[in-house]
Amino acid sequence: MKTNQIMIRDKAFVQRTKDGYFNATVLVDYWNNSNDDNKKQLNRYKFNKTTKEFVIQLQKEGIEVPLRSGRGTGESSGTWMHPKLFIDLAMWVSVEFKSIVIDYVLDGLINSRHDAGDYYNEMCRDILTVYVDVFKRKPPSNIFIEEARRIRALVTSKPRNEMSEQELNQITYLQKFNANLIRKRIGKTARIKRLMEASEIKI
């Protein structure tokens, strides 16, 4: 499941999950707000010779649009870059930024987020199946929300788009664990107790 979310990492690094692109505008603005004597202009990077050559190379590799620009507000505004191009931009801005963005690109955060979404759906299907089997009717929608909130509260108080890879993996683990308990018809009180015990196991 690939629903788009905007993930904010260390304020300068903003990535969206639908395509993995990073917000170049935010990165450059963050740098400029912290460096009065060495400001950067994103357009100078976008239109320099080596950047144009790199964009052509990425297109040859099958990345049709390595750089996307949009106006207005919302998730499409600003300039968004494929991770490879964003690494190049980060290197152009500073060596420190280059190192940070390489860590972000190489980690499994987006995959962890997709897994958490997939197992949330599996858990909801099990809730639906068991509820209909027991009560002969569909469950109220708030049951799904309550289950998700209960599991998230056992891991973190952060909103999902700010969670670390480890936190998302922990939520995935608990969703799978909870789905298994639901399939076994374990009651709510007993399930909560076992989820609390399981949440202490760090994966």
54-67: per-residue pLDDT in tens? 999 999 999 999 99
Which residues are 67's β-sheet partners? 81
pLDDT at 104 over 50: yes
Domain co-membership, 15 together with 92: yes
Domain co-membership, 16 together with 100: yes
Domain co-membership, 21 together with 93: yes
Q: 63: Cβ–Cβ under 8 A, 6 or more apart, which residues?
A: 82, 84
Domain range holding 100? Answer: 6-106
Residue 59's CB is within 10 A of a number of other CB atoms, namely: 12
Q: In this structure, is residue 1 part of a structural domain?
A: no
Q: What is the pLDDT of residues 132-184, one digit of tens each?
A: 998 899 888 888 889 988 998 999 888 776 777 778 888 888 998 999 999 99
Domain co-membership, 120 together with 150: yes
Q: Quick one: tokens of 75?
A: 């998730």
Side chain identity at residue 69, one-letter code: S
- What is the distance between the alpha carbons of residues 166 and 156, in angstroms, rounded to a whole number? 11
Would you say 123 and 146 are in contact if contact means Cβ atoms under 8 Å apart? no
